[in-house]
Amino acid sequence: MALASGREYLFPGDVTSMERNLSETRGRSRLVADWLAPENRRAVIGWIKGLRTLQARTPGLTIAFQHDRDWLLRQRNDGAFHIGFGDPARVQARKPAGQAQTTSVQAAPFADGPAFSSLTQGAAG
């Protein structure tokens, strides 16, 4: 997806849902790939190799790893999108002391464009 600002994003879905899938050229765990969501492992590795080549040839392209909490939080910290619902200027992401903190990246818009896929990750607080 190309935004009006010139930023380009690629959403590869479950092929590389975690950043390490791309950096290590490996598919999802055997539990997921063989049992929970069966997939053609050879084809997936082929797609990952293709994405690595595309990434190397297109330095301005951002590949979105929609299930990778750490990657999503880094994007938030860089201002690519906000965590929470509604207007980012009015969102308060803190809960009262003693309650579990929940991080929710939920259809929040990029600073300069359309909505991002969602992730909800609970964390003990």
pTM here is 0.61
For 46-84, the pLDDT digits (tens) are 999 999 999 999 988 999 998 888 988 888 877 776 666
Termini Cα distance of the chain:
36
Q: What is the pLDDT of residues 98-123, one digit of tens each?
A: 544 444 433 334 444 343 333 333 33
Handedness of CA 23, 39, 61, 84 (dihedral sign): negative
Of 26, 13, 114, 106, nearest in space to 66 by CA: 13
Can you say how many angstroms the Cα of residue 76 is from the centroid of all Cα atoms in its chain?
Answer: 11
Contact status, residue 53 vs residue 88, Cβ threshold 8 Å? no
